[in-house]
Amino acid sequence: MTKEEIKRLVDEVKTDVIAWRRHLHAHPELSFQEEKTAQFVYETLQSFGHLELSRPTKTSVMARLIGQQPGRVVAIRADMDALPIQEENTFEFASKNPGVMHACGHDGHTAMLLGTAKIFSQLRDDIRGEIRFLFQHAEELFPGGAEEMVQAGVMDGVDVVIGTHLWSPLERGKIGIVYGPMMAAPDRFFIRIIGKGGHGAMPHQTIDAIAIGAQVVTNLQHIVSRYVDPLEPLVLSVTQFVAGTAHNVLPGEVEIQGTVRTFDETLRRTVPQWMERIVKGITEAHGASYEFRFDYGYRPVINYDEGDPRHGGNGVRAVRRRGSGPLETEHGRRRFLRLFAKSARQLFLRRRGQCRKRHRLPAPPPALYD
């Protein structure tokens, strides 16, 4: 297996990857509904030969390429689901499913992994160990399809798991790398303040859930600014405050929701304790009651790669020679390898698709990134 041979195979598969991506873009399916997508992926993989195929769950696919020599087990993962967005593009491969669109690049991820599987299947005699190609369903939902796949055993024996995401802010041809923490754990919270409703003209006869909720929102921000070391990354955002239906009636309840992003596991487990203490103190002070729920999402993405120059290997150095750029550590653009990487080292990269304009995903029209 020479660099020239690999380059030739890459050049040969480009047309296929574009065709697969366009087919997937035209036929998007929502999370846990990717039946036709999974079937398309399965049949395409079947045509390559040398791959052991399985369906770990109803709408996911795994392909195993077992080399001729012993070695590590490397998993490469892509997501397949689309978003509930109405596509406004008019090109021939625009979404044919009303209200559903591949607006976050998962059609591209799936097509790229199919192309990768095709190339490696042609290099089987040179493979040491095993490569697993994981086509994940339901990445967009919380907690998503990764947990189901892990429970089905797709990560058993895996040493390293690799993933990537199209990222338009990068320059064309560049790969974005973060060593160590890359994406934070995306947890969410729900608070219900239970007061006593009444007429807006007689607030003294009520327990004002809105006023209490406003104090809760304000005091939750003290966690970031006063409870935590300024050098410790933490985001706590209240994103929903729902109350009332009439202009002259004080509601009996308020619902507050939001998200918390952390990298440190100890801090992650401590923040909800602080939050509930604040909610409890404020509501009790005003004679109200409360409900509090904190839902843990995926673990943070912490990149570790033996190819990192600090670890003495050459994998990432090879990427750097071809052109790469640093990425800012992000407070959780959710989901990707967190569950897959519980039992294996991980490397998550970003690369730019060939977009006419740079924009962040989910992508507004036009989604042109062959």
Distance CA 300, CA 338 (A): 6
Structure tokens at 333: 């653009």
Query: Are 198 and 205 in contact, with CB atoms under 8 Å apart?
Result: yes
Kindly tell me the burial class for residue 171, based on how many C-beta atoms sit within 10 Å of its own C-beta (0-12, 13-18, 19 or more): exposed
Structure tokens at 77: 């993962």
Distance CA 269, CA 358 (A): 37
What's the alpha-carbon Rg for the chain, to the nearest Å? 24
User: 105-125 b/e with 16+ CB inside 10 Å = b?
Assistant: bbbbbbbbbbbbbbbbbbbbe
Residue among 121, 8, 93, 22 at smallest CA distance from 353: 22
The residues annotated as belonging to the active site are 81, 139
